Amino acid sequence: MSFEKKIDLNYQRARQSMVEEISSKGISDLRVLEAFLKTPRHIFIDGAFSSRAYQDMSLPIGYHQTISQPFVVARMVELILKGNIFEKSPLGTILEIGTGCGYQTAILSNFCRKVFSIERISPLAERAKANLQSAGIKNYLIRCADGSLGWPTFKKFDAIICSAVSNNVPEPLIKQLNVSGKLICPVGNEKNQNLVLIEKKEKKEIIRKVLDPVLFVPMLPGIVNEDKVKK
- Enzyme catalytic residues: 68
How many CB atoms within 10 Å of residue 10?
12
Continuous H helices in 67-190? 70-81, 103-108, 122-134, 171-175
**Kind and range of the H or E run holding 35:** helix 30-38
Specify which residues 44 forms β-bridges with: none
Q: CA-CA distance, 26 to 47, in Å (whole number)?
A: 30
DSSP secondary structure letters along 212-224: EE----B--SS-B
Cα 159 to Cα 151: distance, rounded to the nearest angstrom? 13
Q: Helix 30-38 and helix 3-24: axis angle, to 10°?
A: 160
Cβ contacts of 201 within 8 Å, gap of 6 or more = 179, 180, 207
